[in-house]
Copies of this chain bind each other. A is one copy, B any other.
Amino acid sequence: MAKSNKDGRPAARLPRGLSDTPPEGVRETSRMLSVIRGVYESYGFEPLETPAIEYTDALGKFLPDQDRPNAGVFSFQDEDEQWLSLRYDLTAPLARYVAEHFDRLPKPFRRYAVGPVWRNEKPGPGRFRQFTQFDADTVGTDNIAADAEICMLTADTLEALGVPRGQYVIKVNNRKVLDGVLAGIGVDPVSEADAIKRLTVLRAVDKLDRLGPQGVAMLLGSGRKDESGDFTPGAGLEPRAVDAVLRFIGAGSQGSGKTLAAIEPLVRGANIGRAGLAELVEMERLLAAAGYASERVAVDASVVRGLDYYTGPVFEAQLTFEVRNDDGQLVRFGSVGGGGRYDDLVARFTGERVPATGFSIGVSRLQAALAAIGKAQGHPRLGPVVVLVMDRAELPRFQRLTQTLRAAGVRAEMYLGTAGMKAQMKYADKRASPCVIIQGADEVARGEVQIKDLIEGAKAAATIKDAKEWRETRPAQVSVPEAQLIEAVRGLLARHKAHA
């Protein structure tokens, strides 16, 4: 609830599902994005940025939870009473961009984009209302080679970030194959009348990981009551039809030849199913030739993805190593992104079909994964060198010392508070400063500066018994002529970096 203090002041807090990112997190994200950007650029994709806000009707309603109020999207009216929304992904804005500029774009059009997206989720643990996606898309071709390439790109990206081969798999399926199964059990995949039923089936299957086959069977049939007592209506399929869908997703990921063979009899009767199967076979062939098949990219009949706009191949990047969940159990890390082919998104605007395919990485999820396997390189960085202020009347002198350090490429700051020596030392500690610079009247008289090594000092403090010994030995503290300040500080930084 929006709280305020007794005295009417607002409470300082964030809405749930939103969070601040501290320095190490910001630096690690930045490093990750730069690695991903490098791989995407090497594949020939070009950057594009679109704004956070779009017309609501331009974004459309494709979220899995579209039946909830607000369709899971943050929306508001501007002064002209037009409805605007925060983008919920980077694909819908891309479709708007392509429709708007179609004539002057190269075909195919290949772009990458990175940025925050927003979901108007009911606040709760683990539900984020803002998160960052990193997308690559190839628009304007129905060439299955574009889908195969997107999977290769994702595999290369994960490896470039340090996920070892064998600890991830890009899973591939095809919506047309599922539609073939549905056609076989009397659900018409293209009729308006069966659209809701098809969507319900899709979302039921998408919950396989969480609910298991039995839970999915209930959602395919008459419905399911969850632990909290909430009832989710089912797709209303006959038991025989439920069985067909379960057999399809049960074909799973047996090594792709076997999976494809298991699927074939289920879709044999429907053109659309056979077309989907042919696309899977073609992707297999391209991936195998490029050396990505089986271990890195594998067909998995249980992957369907929750978004409504996919029309053909769908992909999901899964990390297969285990981590402990909040209850201390070992669980597979799971999905860090997904994508697929969406041939109808641009036609929403233009009426003309523009086939497209793409992939979206969930940056925060992936960042958590890299941290879990020790591949996040954002170890805490050394703070700035702090120049202590021994006498505020002499600020300009301390400012000049600071500038001298900066001019030499040393990260440095003058203490800018107004407290005494003890607080200044505490400040430097809290900033993780490698050392402080001290120049009182005595040092000025001798043309010297003192450099106090805080890292060595902390080690010495652990072994020294009392204040007397400390004063006598003055550990980790040296005086040097002012002219040698830079050289001495550089030496100190080099020593600590070598041990970092």
Residues of A within 8 A of B (CB): 1-2, 4-5, 7, 9-15, 18-23, 25-27, 41-44, 46-55, 57-58, 60, 69-70, 74-76, 78-80, 82-84, 86, 96-97, 99-100, 106-108, 110-111, 116, 118, 120, 122-123, 129-130, 138, 140-143, 145-146, 148-149, 285-286, 289-290, 348-351, 383-384, 386, 392, 395-397, 399-400, 403, 406, 409, 411-414, 416-419, 423, 427, 430-431
Q: Which of B42, B70, B130, B383 contacts A411 (CB 8 A)?
A: B42
* A396:B285 contact, CB within 8 angstroms: yes
Evaluate contact between B116 and A384: CB separation under 8 angstroms: no
Q: Look across to chain B and name the residue whose beta carbon is closest to the beta carbon of A385.
A: B44
Closest B residue to A50 by beta carbon equals B20
Residue A47 contacts which of B11, B27, B286 (CB distance < 8 angstroms)?
Answer: B27
Min distance, Cβ A287 to any Cβ of chain B, angstroms: 9
Q: Which residues of B contact A417 (CB under 8 A)?
A: 107-108, 140-141, 143
Closest to A19 in B: B51
* Chain B residue with the shortest CB-CB distance to A120: B78
Residues of B within 8 A of A140 (CB): 417
Distance (Å) between the CB of A407 and the closest chain B CB?
9
Contacts of A49 in B (CB 8 A): 20-21, 25-26
Name A58's contact: one of B12, B107, B111, B142 (CB within 8 Å).
B12
With A13-B100, A48-B20, A416-B141 already in contact, the answer to whether A118 and B53 are too (CB < 8 A) is yes
- Nearest chain B CB to A418's CB is how many angstroms away? 5
Known contacts A10-B60, A44-B383, A110-B416; 9 further A-B pairs (Cβ under 8 A): A10-B349, A12-B96, A23-B46, A23-B47, A42-B411, A44-B411, A46-B383, A79-B120, A106-B430
| Option from B4, B106, B138 in Cβ contact (under 8 Å) with A431 | B106
